[in-house]
Amino acid sequence: MESLTFRHTTQKALPGTKREAIIGVVASGNLEVLLERVLAPDACEIAIETAINGYGDVWEAVVADFVARAQPGGLRISVNDGGARPDTVSLRLLQGVRLMED
Amino acid sequence: MVAWRNERAARDARLEAGRAFADGKVVAAGSVTDLLEAVLRPGDRVCLEGDNQKQADCLARGLAACDPARIHDLHMVQSGIVLPEHLDVFETGVARRLDYSYSGPQGARIARMLYGGQIALGAVHTYLELFARYFVDLTPHVALIAGVSADRDGNLYTGPNTEDTPTVVEATHFKNGLVIAQVNEIVERVPRVDIPGDRIDFVVEADRPFYVEPLFTRDPAAMTETQILIAMMAIKGIYAEYGVRRLNHGIGFGTAAIELLLPTYGERLGLKGQIATHWALNPHPTLIPAIESGWVTQVHCFGSEVGMDRYIRERPDVFFTGSDGSLRSNRAFCQTAGLYACDMFIGATLQIDLMGHSSTVTQSRVAGFGGAPNMGSDPHGRRHPSETWMKAGREAQIVGDPALMRGRKLVVQLVETFGEGLVPTFVERLDAMELARKTGLELAPVMIYADDVTHIVTEEGIANLLLCRDADEREQAIRGIAGYTEIGRGRDRAKVEALRARGVIRRPEDLGISPLDADRSLLAARSIKDLVHWSGGLYEPPAKFRNW
């Protein structure tokens, strides 16, 4: 197990009013993402619990690209990872943001 | 006096020795080892039919039981290393040298035996190449083949999995070799004659039906959103872009996803009849929805697939079938079709390097190639144009007289940036090179060389290598779609953006595709059971795929 936390400042707040959303499942090669609108409009925090150690730099790159693309201002995102590949992580994060924009 | 009939005399002597264990041509299953010890000689070249699917397993067990004091140092020349017995013979010393093509299920063990020096490896061939050598310098002295049934004269019915049999028999029988066939049953009259009886010397009624490997069944239930995204990009960015009508698919989940998206996503794009109409392909169950939706004009097959026989019988407009109604496959002809008559090969691989060389060999597994190096190559002997081929040729050619331009075959690698267990697909150096160094192979087992590859598709985008003008552009085009692998993170971002502006790299959004659209609801079938429904109950999946 490894715990990682990344904090980013965004250029804008994520649109929408939904307070909370959850997507995905904790399974081998998959992940669960919980999104909560609880932070300042220009702040985003992503906390990761992963079953696989040693991929900190990959997580950092995936999270940075996600934040730049989605501008998820105001969200605290908790990730429960079962060893998902980076592309699956990106996809789940984007799917979660779409739910919050509803 | 020069003697011109030494081989014939040797063949007659072997036949005579074998007759002691036969009633006419018929040999009991329990006498196989006696028969083989009688007709084989140390050092013989032997083809033990191990195809992609059909296995001469009764004869394989008989050969593995031979006394190495009598039969030793055989040179095995067979396309597939599939059964444990195919390698057992190298452990006992019955066999010593090996020339082959494919070793999927035995890939890990063959790697260990190569490193351990138990196998003297000639080369890992592509199918057509090994078949060609059967007629030049690897002609078998004895061929051990498999069929469904035979009559007492040896007339052989191979069933839908004809595969390598006609080629093996042709090379062996007509050059003074001996052909021994195992069949599931001896009958009065065979349903159709695939091999005439005068080419078969002995027929063994096997103790149980021959083993068939269900290699081409991909369960739609296991398809991921990433594979669907890649499939969408391939359909829109390559199939539609080049108008690809004549093609061959690999056996991975990525191409299976494409097959399942044709009647849904492809239909929505208005591509029916414009793409994917003529195929060199095994009867993939995942092609059923496209066939039923009227996408597919015809399919020629290398072999059959477990459970597809009834379906194929009821679709003779699409498949090649015999007078008995069942599929007639032929690996040599279908490989030739894939080489010369298809405009695209698209398949997966395990490793790709910075220039685009690819290999399925890893440090611990030597899977062999099968047909990929053949169909995944640009045939310089091709002399007929097609729109697809000419368009690719125009993209590749920047100098020279346009009137003398020739086309290019599309050779597309469809990969996810990470494979199982988070192993990166993109690497600095192929494991195949390390294997070659350690085992003293002169030629590293590269599956598809960089100069044959035209496109690489990953979840991050499509790299069109035809448009790359130097090695640096090529490297950055590959890095630019390599995702979060070390290779991908090592990209020069400015150069990658410049390549994207030129259309060398195309992202999903450049193609009008959102990754969020890649949903399993797009699959025409989401389970094996759905495929059975599509087939009107004609597809009969093997037990291991029945989970209802």
List all residues 6 or more positions away from B391 whose beta carbon is below 8 Å from its beta carbon.
Answer: B242, B243, B407
CATH number of the domain within which A84 lies: 3.30.230
- Please indicate whether, in this complex, the C-beta atoms of B422 and A98 are within 8 angstroms of each other: no
Tell me the pLDDT band of B213, cut-offs 50, 70 and 90: confident
Instruction: Give the per-residue pLDDT at B10.
Output: 97
- Please indicate whether, in this complex, the C-beta atoms of A87 and B417 are within 8 angstroms of each other: yes
Which residues form the domain of A15?
A: 2-101
Instruction: Give the per-residue pLDDT at B89.
Output: 98
> Can you tell me whether residue B291 is helix, strand or coil?
helix
- Please indicate whether, in this complex, the C-beta atoms of B418 and A95 are within 8 angstroms of each other: no
Q: Where are the alpha helices (DSSP H) in B50-126?
A: 57-64, 84-92, 107-115
Count of other CB atoms within 10 angstroms of residue B455: 27
Q: Rounded CA gap, B508 and B232, in Å?
A: 9
List the one residue out of A74, A78, A71, A76 whose CA is nearest residue A94.
A71
Interface residues from chain A to B (CB-CB < 8 Å): 52, 55, 57-58, 61-62, 83, 85-88, 90-91, 94-95, 98
- Please indicate whether, in this complex, the C-beta atoms of A95 and B484 are within 8 angstroms of each other: no
List the one residue out of B58, B150, B529, B80 whose CA is nearest residue B307.
B529
Count of other CB atoms within 10 angstroms of residue A38: 12
User: Least CA distance to A89: which residue of chain B?
Assistant: B226
Instruction: Give the per-residue pLDDT at B400.
Output: 84
For B140-149, B394-403, B478-487, which range has the lowest pLDDT when averaged over its residues? B394-403
Q: Which residues of A touch B489 (CB under 8 A)?
A: 57-58, 61
Residue B156 clears pLDDT 80, i.e. is over it: yes
Q: Which residues of B touch A57 (CB under 8 A)?
A: 489
> What six digits make up the tokens of A94?
């984007």
List the one residue out of B366, B371, B352, B347 whose CA is nearest residue B445.
B366
How high is the ipTM of this complex? 0.92
Alpha carbon dihedral A87, A92, A93, A98, in 10-degree steps, equals 130
Which of B226, B416, B484 is facing A58, going by the closest CB pair?
B484
Share of chain B above pLDDT 90, in %: 91
Instruction: Give the per-residue pLDDT at B130.
Output: 98
Q: Rounded CA gap, B158 and B150, in Å?
A: 9
Tell me the pLDDT band of B439, cut-offs 50, 70 and 90: confident
Instruction: Give the per-residue pLDDT at B82.
Output: 93
Best probe of the B interface among A81, A87, A91, A97, by most B CBs < 10 A, is A87
Contact, B458 vs A85, CB < 8 A? no
Over residues B185-203, the mean pLDDT reads 98
**Residue type at B542 in one-letter notation:** P
Contact, B491 vs B480, CB < 8 A? yes
Residue B166: its H or E element: helix B165-173
> Can you tell me whether residue A81 is helix, strand or coil?
strand
For A10-19, B214-223, B227-236, B395-404, which range has the lowest pLDDT when averaged over its residues? B395-404
With tokens 């004809």, the residue in question is B162
Is B484 an interface residue toward A (CB < 8 Å)? yes
Count of other CB atoms within 10 angstroms of residue B1: 3
Over residues B482-500, the mean pLDDT reads 97
Over residues B466-478, the mean pLDDT reads 97
Instruction: Give the per-residue pLDDT at B188.
Output: 98
Residue B369 clears pLDDT 90, i.e. is over it: no
Residue B62 clears pLDDT 80, i.e. is over it: yes
Instruction: Give the per-residue pLDDT at B501.
Output: 98
Q: Rounded CA gap, B88 and B254, in Å?
A: 34
Residue B402 clears pLDDT 90, i.e. is over it: no
Over residues B315-324, the mean pLDDT reads 97
Residue A82 backbone phi and psi in degrees, to 5: -105, 35
Instruction: Give the per-residue pLDDT at B104.
Output: 81
Domains, chain B, ranges and CATH? 24-205 (3.40.1080.10), 215-342+515-537 (no CATH), 345-506 (3.40.1080)
Q: Rounded CA gap, B460 and A91, in Å?
A: 11
Over residues B165-172, the mean pLDDT reads 98
User: Least CA distance to A30: which residue of chain B?
Assistant: B224
Instruction: Give the per-residue pLDDT at B397.
Output: 82
Instruction: Give the per-residue pLDDT at B421.
Output: 83
Residue B548 clears pLDDT 80, i.e. is over it: no
- Please indicate whether, in this complex, the C-beta atoms of B224 and A62 are within 8 angstroms of each other: no
- Please indicate whether, in this complex, the C-beta atoms of B417 and A86 are within 8 angstroms of each other: yes
Tell me the pLDDT band of B57, cut-offs 50, 70 and 90: very high
Q: Where are the alpha helices (DSSP H) in B4-150?
A: 6-19, 32-39, 57-64, 84-92, 107-115, 127-134
Q: Rounded CA gap, B276 and B299, in Å?
A: 10
Quote the minimal CA–CA distance from A30 to chain B in Å: 10
A45, β-bridge pairs: A7, A76
Count of other CB atoms within 10 angstroms of residue B331: 29
CA distances from B14 to A22, A88, B22, B147, B484 (A): 73, 61, 13, 23, 61
Instruction: Give the per-residue pLDDT at A27.
Output: 87
Residue B157 backbone phi and psi in degrees, to 5: -105, 115
Residue B275 clears pLDDT 90, i.e. is over it: yes
Contact, B327 vs B236, CB < 8 A? no
Share of chain B above pLDDT 70, in %: 100
Instruction: Give the per-residue pLDDT at B365.
Output: 87
Q: What is the pLDDT of residues B20-42, one digit of tens each?
A: 999 999 999 999 999 999 999 99
Is B1 an interface residue toward A (CB < 8 Å)? no
Q: What is the DSSP letter of A34?
A: E
Angle between helices B57-64 and B32-39 (to 10 degrees): 70
Q: Which residues of B touch A52 (CB under 8 A)?
A: 422
CA distances from B478 to B413, B499, B512 (A): 11, 11, 21
- Please indicate whether, in this complex, the C-beta atoms of B225 and A83 are within 8 angstroms of each other: no
> What six digits make up the tokens of A68?
């730049």
Is B515 an interface residue toward A (CB < 8 Å)? yes
Instruction: Give the per-residue pLDDT at B247.
Output: 98
Count of other CB atoms within 10 angstroms of residue A19: 10
Instruction: Give the per-residue pLDDT at B427.
Output: 97
**Residue type at B508 in one-letter notation:** P
Task: Supply the pTM of this predicted model.
Answer: 0.95
List the one residue out of B324, B347, B343, B58 whose CA is nearest residue B203.
B58
Residue B280 backbone phi and psi in degrees, to 5: -105, 105
Tell me the pLDDT band of B145, cut-offs 50, 70 and 90: very high
Tell me the pLDDT band of B364, cut-offs 50, 70 and 90: confident
**Residue type at B132 in one-letter notation:** A
Number of structural domains, chain A?
1
Quote the minimal CA–CA distance from B353 to chain A in Å: 20
Q: B25-45: b or e for each residue (b if 16 or more CB lie within 10 Å)?
A: bbbeeebbbbbbbbbbeeebb
Q: What is the pLDDT of residues B67-106, one digit of tens each?
A: 999 999 999 999 999 999 999 999 999 999 999 999 988 9
Q: What is the rounded end-to-end Cα distance, in angstroms, of chain A? A: 33
